[in-house]
Chains A and B, each alone.
Chain A
Amino acid sequence: MSWYDKTKHAVRFWLLRRLPACKQTVELISQSMERPLTLRERVLLKLHLWVCMWCQWYLEHLQLMRDTLRVQKNENDEAEVPPTTRLSDEARERIRRSLTNNS
Chain B
Amino acid sequence: MSEPQGTAPHKSSDVSVWLERHGDYLFKYAVFRLRDTSAAEDAVQETFLAALKAYEKFEGRGSERTWLVGILKHKVTDHFRRMTRETPLEPGREDDGPEHAEFFTRTDGWDNHWNNEYAPIDWHATPAQLLERGDFWRVFSDCLSPLPQRTASAFTLREVDGLTSEEICEALGVTVNNLWVMLHRARLHLRNCLEGNWFRREPTKPQS
Interface residues of A (CB under 8 A from B): 16, 21-24, 26-27, 30-31, 33-35, 54-55, 57-58, 60-62, 64-73, 75, 77, 81-82, 85-88, 91-92, 94-96, 98-100, 102-103
Contact = CB atoms under 8 A, between A and B. Distances in A.
Given A61-B195, A82-B137, A102 B52 contact: yes
Interface stretch (B75-83, B87-95, B145-153, B185-193): B185-193
Interface string B26-51: 11100110000000010011001100
A92 B180 contact: no
Determine the interface band of chain B, counting residues with CB < 8 A from chain A.
35 or more
A96 to B, nearest CB: 6
Contacts, number: 135
B73 interface: no
B123 A61 contact: yes
A71 B162 CA distance: 11
Given A58-B120, A92-B19, A87 B41 contact: yes
Contact of A23 (B113, B165, B190): B113
